[in-house]
Amino acid sequence: MKAIRASANVFAYPAEPLQVEPPRDLTAESVADAAALMRSPEIGDADAKVRPDLLAGMPGDVARLIVEAAHEEGVDPNLMLSIARAENGAFDGTAVSGAGAVGIMQMLPETGAAYGAHDLTDPAQNVRAAAKFLKVLVDKYGNPILVAAAYNAGEPKVDLRTSLPLIRETADYVTRVVELYTHAYAPGDIQAVGRARQGFHSNGQRSAASTKASSPARSTMLVFSTNGPGPDGTDAAQQIQPPDGPVKVREEGSQ
C-alpha cells in the first residue's frame, strides 16, 4: 500500500507510532511552512459574508444570535451555522441528547458553565457560550476538521494524535459539518442535516432512540461513511477496526 506524506494525520494507527523516513529535501523550515499552510484563516474571519443557504429554514431569532455571537467572538459565522445545523437541525432550545448536551448548540453543562452559561436552555446563553468555546478551538487548531472533531469528541481525543478520532459518531458528525461549511450539500438538502438525531428529548420527555439510520442528505463529498452497508454488503461501521488493529479505509464515490 502506498502512503502519502502529509503535514497532518486524518487517520492514525492507535498502535506504536508509524516511523517513516522523511524525504531528503524536507527541512525544518518546509515543515513549518506546511503546518502554516494547513491552517484555514477563514474560520477565524468573523466578518465573512453569511451564506443564505445556511440560514434557510432557521428561525430568525436563532440566526441573529448565532451570527452576532460569531462576529463578536471572532469566529466565521458560516462555521458556527454549520455546527448548529449538524448539532440540532430542528433548532430546539430544549433538546437534550443522550450524552446530556443541551440546547441550540448542544453544549455539555460543564462546558457551558466554563464559558458563562448557567441555563443552556436559554438560547442566548447557549449560543454565546458555544461561540466562546469555538473561538478557543479555532485559535488552537485552525483547521475545520479538527475544530469540529474537538467540539464533538473533546479536545483530549483530538490532541492524542492531532487527528480525527476513530469514533463512528465523530467521523459522521465531522463529515456533516465540513460538507456544510464547504458548500458540498445541494441547497435543497441542507435543511435535512441534523434534523433527525437519535436520543434527543425535549421538555423533559425522552424519546425512544430510533434503531433505523436516517437517510443522509445528498452531498458531493464523502469524507467518511458510517451510514448503511458497503458495496460488499457489510455495514460501514464494521470497517472501523478495534484499537489494537489496523484501520481499513474503503474508497467511496459521491452520494
Q: Catalytic site residues?
A: 87
Q: Which three cell numbers stand for residue 250?
A: 474503503
Cα of 31 vs its chain's centroid, Å: 26
For 101, phi then psi, to 5°, come to -75, 145
For 180, phi then psi, to 5°, come to -65, -45
Q: What number of H helices and E strands is found in the chain?
A: 9, 2
For 149, phi then psi, to 5°, come to -65, -45
- Kindly write down the DSSP assignment for every residue of 206-233, as one continuous string: EPPPPSSPPPPPPBS--S---SSB-TTS
Overall residue count recorded for the chain in this entry: 255
Quick check: 9 and 161 in contact, CB under 8 A? yes
